[in-house]
Amino acid sequence: MASPLIGIGAVNALLFAAYSKLKQIQNPFNDELKIWQIGLAGAGAGNYVFFFQSQAHAKSQSLPTFINTFPTVCRSSQFSLGLTG
């Protein structure tokens, strides 16, 4: 299991990369952005990180459950198919 400090660093790097990319998409010539454009880039980056974190969290929660229940499912499937023994 990775250290939480490494995970936090990765999330922050993802947040700032998404934020800068969204600012660049809105203004490719590096002019000064309006306040609503900065807010839009921040909101987009926050949504991107939220989606990434929710997917990673879902996988970290579902994988142990799958590993613990898979042998039971296989045994019940073999039993229902008559492949026991």
How confident is the model at residue 69, as a pLDDT?
60
Q: What is the dihedral of CA 52, 23, 28, 37, to 10 degrees?
A: 130
pLDDT band at residue 77 under the 50/70/90 scheme: low
- Indicate whether 83 pLDDT > 60: no
Domains in the chain: how many in total?
1
In one letter, which amino acid is 30? N
Residue 72 belongs to domain spanning:
4-81
Tell me: the pLDDT tens digits for 15-69?
Answer: 999 999 999 999 888 889 999 999 999 999 999 888 877 766 656 655 555 555 6
DSSP string spanning the chain?
---HHHHHHHHHHHHHHHHHHHHHHH-TT-PPPPHHHHHHHHHHHHHHHHHHHHHHHHHHHHHHHHHHHHHHHHHHHHHHHT---
